[in-house]
Each structure stands twice: as structure tokens, then as C-alpha cells.
């Protein structure tokens, strides 16, 4: 059957029009998709640039926070040493004052005794020594009187020597007292300067913390920061564990298994965050956060050797102690560190002072007990009452 030419022409024309429409539509869709993809790539690039800038700013602020914490640590340590020296001098002044009072009483007693001896010698002065020697009438009495004179004279000379020594000792004590008083005055002036420096350093850190919190305004950023800090700590602990294995034992470290449940907490205070409780997102606390006053002593829970004594991101100024046989204890957010790497410490010995380092808004101690690199619940190792 033959198709009429007019119908065939119309069909071809419609087909061409359809193809043209389809082609135009496909081109338009492809072009639209391409534009969207280009826009998306630009947005991703812009986001990456922004994220990179935020990360750089955060790193810069964290570095500034480290500098602020270390500056506070230096001043706080100097201030702590000044307080110890002041206490030592004050105790010495109390001792010197007591010695001075004792020597003054001794001086008065010696003066009274010497006065009595002089009076006694004057009273018996009618029988002077030369007359007694020339008197031959009563030889026995002469000998007795001579012996008495010799005894009296020797006693008087001894008392004079004692008196002179007392005066000398008293002079030494008074001089030392004056020197210590001047040293005390200088230390008190130094303490005022140190306190002002500490105040300025704290203000600088407060400003840094505000900037850091501003950068980490979103929950995602804070979570990412916490994850990064935990990973950083994990890596550091693994390094320290390997270091402890390689180190030659200069002191016997018998671990913590024998003292489980008997250890004292490193500081007295209220537990703010317990081991295993929710931290943020899916993260949980690997240690215990104990609220305590700023500057209070942090004590080692047991005998050991200092493995780490430095600033650590997120945890501030940290001390890590090796107790042997895979056991370690960690003390963070300190104001200053009193021990250096390699130092041997005893249970209850002061190793740091409570602080707010690492960007904390309140003073507290971050405390961990670890076994073979893994954090364990400190409550099972330390006594229930803090």
C-alpha cells in the first residue's frame, strides 16, 4: 500500500520537530545539570576554603592558649616557690625570736650571778690574797682561804666567758633576724609583682578562650575537636607506654594491682564528671573531672616515675606517672607542674597545682588511671571517700 506524499511529508516534518524538541530538551537538561554541578563544586570549594580558614584560626588560637597556659604556669610556679620561701622565713623568724628571748633571759641570769660573785669578792676583800700568803700564824686556814679564792676566781672567769659567749650569740641572732626580715620584705614585694603578673596572664587566657569558643560555636565543631583531642591523647599514651617498656628500670615499680581500692584521690573535691558518663555526642568520659580550688596541691596516687610533664591539646598542662607493670595515672588541666620527666615520686607527693589550663572555664583536675594504654574507672582503684 502506497502512502500519500502529503502524509509522508507531514510525518517526516513531525518527526523532525520531535527530534528537535527532544534534542533541545536534552541539551537544556544537560546544560542545567552542568550548571548545578558547577555551582555545587564552587560551593564545596568555598566551604573547604572556609573550613581551612576556620581550622587555621582554631590552631592559631589553640597555640595562643598553650602560650597563655605556660605563661600562667611559670608565674604560678614562681609564686608557689615564693610562698614556700615566705613560710620558711617566717618559721625561721619565729625560731630566732624564741632563741633571742632565751639568750636574753640567760644574759640577765648571768649578770645577776656575776654581780653576786663580785659582791662576794668585795665582802671578803679585807683578807686580800697577798695578806693571806704572808700570814704564817694559821697555815691550814691560809690554805683553805687560798683554795676558796682560786675556786671563786675560776668560777668568775667561767661566768665571764659564758656571758661573753651569750652576748656574741645574741648579736648573731639579732643580725640574722634583721637579714631574714629584709629577705621577707623583698619576697613579699616579689609576691605582689607575681600576683599582678598572674592576674594579667589569666586575663589574656580568658580572652583567648572566648575567641576559641567563638570559633567552635557549633556542636559539630566541638565534637570534632573532642574527637581530635581524644585521639591525640591516645597516640601520646601509646608513645609513653612504649617508652616505659624501653626504659631501663632505675626504680622498682610494682604496679597498682596490690593497692586496688586503697589509693587516695589526687585531690579533694566534688566529682563533676564520672568515668563512662556522656561527654558529647557518642563520646564518653575516659577519666574523672574533680572540682577543686585553684592552686590546691595535686598529689600522686602512688609511687612512680614521671613519664610526661608538658602541655597537651585539650588537657592543658599534664603530668603522666608510670607506676609499673602497665599502670599509669594522668593528671590534667593543672595550673603548674611541680615535677619534670624522669623524677621519682612517692604516694601523696605534690606533683602539680589545680588549674584551668586547656581552655577550662572552672578550676578542676582531670584524672585518669590507665592499664596497658586503656582507661579504667578510677573509682575501683581509689577509696570511696575523697
Whole-number pLDDT of residue 119: 72
Whole-number pLDDT of residue 80: 86
| % of the chain at pLDDT higher than 70 | 70
- Opening angle at CA 100, ends 99 and 102, nearest 5: 65
Whole-number pLDDT of residue 53: 60
Residues 203 and 128 placed together within one structural domain of the fold? yes
Whole-number pLDDT of residue 116: 74
60 domain residue, yes or no: no
Output 215 or 170, whichever has higher pLDDT: 170
pLDDT band at 71; cut points 50, 70, 90: confident
Strand partners, 271: 290
Give residue-wise pLDDT tens across range 92-141.
878 878 888 887 887 788 778 777 767 766 665 545 555 555 555 555 55
Domain holding 85, by residue range, is: 67-214
Whole-number pLDDT of residue 266: 97
Whole-number pLDDT of residue 4: 46
pLDDT band at 29; cut points 50, 70, 90: low
Give residue-wise pLDDT tens across range 313-355.
889 999 999 999 999 999 999 999 999 999 999 999 999 999 9
203 domain residue, yes or no: yes
Q: What are phi and psi of 318, to 5 degrees?
A: -125, 140
Whole-number pLDDT of residue 340: 94
166 domain residue, yes or no: yes
User: Count of residues for the chain?
Assistant: 386
Residues 350 and 256 placed together within one structural domain of the fold? yes
Pairwise CA distance, residues 115 & 326, whole Å: 76
57 domain residue, yes or no: no
Total number of domains constituting the chain? 2
Whole-number pLDDT of residue 3: 42
Global pTM reads 0.61
The chain-wide mean pLDDT, for the chain, equals: 77
Residues 178 and 256 placed together within one structural domain of the fold? no
Residue after which a domain boundary falls, among 163, 197, 214: 214
41 domain residue, yes or no: no
Residues 77 and 226 placed together within one structural domain of the fold? no
Q: Is the pLDDT of residue 297 over 80?
A: yes
Residue after which a domain boundary falls, among 214, 245, 265: 214
Residue after which a domain boundary falls, among 160, 195, 214: 214
385 domain residue, yes or no: no
Residues 89 and 194 placed together within one structural domain of the fold? yes
Amino acid at each position: 500500500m502506497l502512502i500519500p506524499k502529503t502524509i509522508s511529508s507531514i510525518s517526516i516534518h513531525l518527526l523532525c520537530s520531535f527530534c528537535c524538541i527532544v534534542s533541545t530538551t536534552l541539551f537544556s537538561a544537560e546544560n542545567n545539570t552542568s550548571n548545578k554541578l558547577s555551582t555545587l563544586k564552587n560551593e564545596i570549594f568555598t566551604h573547604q576554603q572556609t573550613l581551612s580558614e576556620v581550622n587555621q584560626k582554631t590552631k592559631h588560637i589553640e597555640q595562643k592558649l598553650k602560650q597563655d597556659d605556660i605563661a600562667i604556669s611559670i608565674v604560678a610556679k614562681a609564686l608557689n616557690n615564693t610562698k614556700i620561701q615566705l613560710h620558711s622565713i617566717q618559721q625561721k623568724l619565729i625560731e630566732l625570736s624564741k632563741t633571742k628571748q632565751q639568750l636574753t633571759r640567760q644574759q640577765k641570769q648571768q649578770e645577776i650571778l656575776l654581780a653576786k660573785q663580785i659582791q662576794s669578792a668585795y665582802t671578803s676583800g679585807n683578807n686580800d690574797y697577798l695578806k693571806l700568803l704572808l700570814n704564817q700564824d694559821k697555815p691550814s686556814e691560809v690554805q683553805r682561804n687560798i683554795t676558796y679564792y682560786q675556786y671563786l676566781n675560776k668560777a668568775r672567769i667561767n661566768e665571764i666567758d659564758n656571758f661573753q659567749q651569750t652576748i656574741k650569740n645574741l648579736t648573731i641572732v639579732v643580725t640574722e633576724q634583721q637579714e631574714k626580715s629584709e629577705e621577707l620584705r623583698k619576697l613579699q614585694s616579689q609576691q605582689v609583682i607575681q600576683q599582678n603578673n598572674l592576674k594579667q596572664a589569666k586575663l589574656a587566657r580568658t580572652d583567648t578562650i572566648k575567641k576559641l569558643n567563638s570559633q567552635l560555636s557549633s556542636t559539630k565543631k566541638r565534637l570534632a575537636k573532642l574527637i581530635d583531642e581524644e585521639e591525640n591523647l591516645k597516640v601520646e599514651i601509646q608513645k609513653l607506654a612504649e617508652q616505659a617498656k624501653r626504659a631501663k628500670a632505675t626504680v622498682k615499680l610494682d604496679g597498682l594491682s596490690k593497692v586496688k581500692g586503697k589509693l587516695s584521690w589526687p585531690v579533694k573535691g566534688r566529682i563533676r564528671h564520672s568515668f563512662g558518663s556522656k561527654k558529647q555526642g557518642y563520646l564518653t568520659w575516659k577519666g574523672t573531672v574533680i572540682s577543686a580550688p585553684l592552686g590546691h596541691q595535686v598529689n600522686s596516687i602512688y609511687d612512680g616515675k614521671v613519664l610526661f610533664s608538658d602541655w597537651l591539646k585539650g588537657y592543658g598542662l599534664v603530668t603522666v606517672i608510670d607506676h609499673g607493670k602497665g599502670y599509669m595515672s594522668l593528671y590534667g588541666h593543672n595550673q603548674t607542674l611541680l615535677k619534670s620527666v624522669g623524677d621519682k615520686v612517692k604516694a601523696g607527693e605534690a606533683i602539680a597545682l589545680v588549674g584551668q589550663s586547656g581552655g577550662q572555664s572552672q578550676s578542676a583536675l582531670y584524672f585518669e588511671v590507665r592499664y596497658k594504654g586503656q582507661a579504667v574507672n578510677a573509682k575501683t582503684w581509689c577509696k570511696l571517700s575523697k
